[in-house]
A and B are shown apart, each in its own frame.
Chain A
């Protein structure tokens, strides 16, 4: 799939304003290849980026995984877009960039959360943390 999209277009239109595929004034003889299409991973990146904010699950590991997947996919798509600017819709690029920003926020939050967990285990030891009275004593000690 990516092999075809990486090939240069016959007539790229870099100055052309963003239009939806239906209104494209240049219905090339190449058919599908001449139309502006959305970036392949824009939607997935946006969804993963937003879901990565839910860092609460499993010490932030799920949020980290989602954010990293979103960032890798968005990097791929940005390279694809830079290779062939006229071929993809402006809207999908905006979605991709928004997803990327969300993924970065999710990555930072998850990383902070994971770091706090690791620091906790390093400070108190795993056995002490599993003690049911640990939380109560810890909160008492902070007062």
Chain B
């Protein structure tokens, strides 16, 4: 990923990403690899780049936001929506990882 020249919070984040333990020992991507880069891309306003790096980021952030609102406001069918959304996120994570395996993008 390109490290931008501008100073600031995003620049600081780009240089302080947490290392994936699987990547360190195996050298292979884990099912969660790309999440942090994807969030930074989202913070820079790059929706498509964020989706390409990790497709589950936007739905996952939606789930987290909806959970916070639901716990405050207590929607009638909020629990049902959360259940479906989490299933959807898990499905995306699985499909993304399988896609990565079959297109040899694991390094």
Interface positions of A (Cβ within 8 A of B): 43, 46-47, 49-50, 53-59, 91, 94-95, 97-98, 101-102, 105-106, 109, 113, 117, 120, 129-130, 132, 134-136, 138-139, 142-143
Alpha-carbon gap, A97 to B74, bound state (A): 15
Which residues from chain A contact B107 at a C-beta distance below 8 Å?
135-136, 139
Interface positions of B (Cβ within 8 A of A): 20-22, 25-28, 30-33, 35, 60, 63-64, 67, 71, 74, 76, 78-80, 82-83, 86-87, 89-90, 93-94, 101, 104, 106-107
Q: Decide if A43 touches B71 in the complex (CB within 8 Å).
A: yes
4 tightest A-B contacts by CB? A56-B32, A135-B27, A98-B79, A94-B79
Which residues from chain B contact A143 at a C-beta distance below 8 Å?
104
Q: Decide if B31 touches A55 in the complex (CB within 8 Å).
A: yes
Sample of 5 further A-B pairs with CB below 8 A, known A117-B26, A120-B26, A132-B27: A46-B67, A59-B22, A95-B78, A113-B31, A139-B106
* Residues A56 and B33 in contact in the complex (CB < 8 Å), given A109-B90, A109-B93, A117-B22: yes
* Interface residue from B32, B82, B101 paired with A54 (Cβ < 8 Å): B32
Alpha-carbon gap, A110 to B47, bound state (A): 28
- Distance between A122 CB and nearest chain B CB, rounded to angstroms: 13
Q: Decide if A102 touches B106 in the complex (CB within 8 Å).
A: no
Interface of A is mostly: helix
Alpha-carbon gap, A33 to B104, bound state (A): 60
Which residues from chain A contact B90 at a C-beta distance below 8 Å?
53, 105-106, 109
Q: Decide if B67 touches A47 in the complex (CB within 8 Å).
A: yes
Q: Decide if B86 touches A130 in the complex (CB within 8 Å).
A: no
Alpha-carbon gap, A98 to B28, bound state (A): 33
- Distance between B82 CB and nearest chain A CB, rounded to angstroms: 5
Q: Decide if B33 touches A50 in the complex (CB within 8 Å).
A: no
Q: Decide if B93 touches A53 in the complex (CB within 8 Å).
A: yes
Which residues from chain A contact B60 at a C-beta distance below 8 Å?
53
* Residues A50 and B28 in contact in the complex (CB < 8 Å), given A56-B33, A94-B80: no
- Distance between B92 CB and nearest chain A CB, rounded to angstroms: 10
- Distance between A114 CB and nearest chain B CB, rounded to angstroms: 11
- Distance between A143 CB and nearest chain B CB, rounded to angstroms: 6
- Distance between B2 CB and nearest chain A CB, rounded to angstroms: 23
Q: Decide if B82 touches A142 in the complex (CB within 8 Å).
A: no
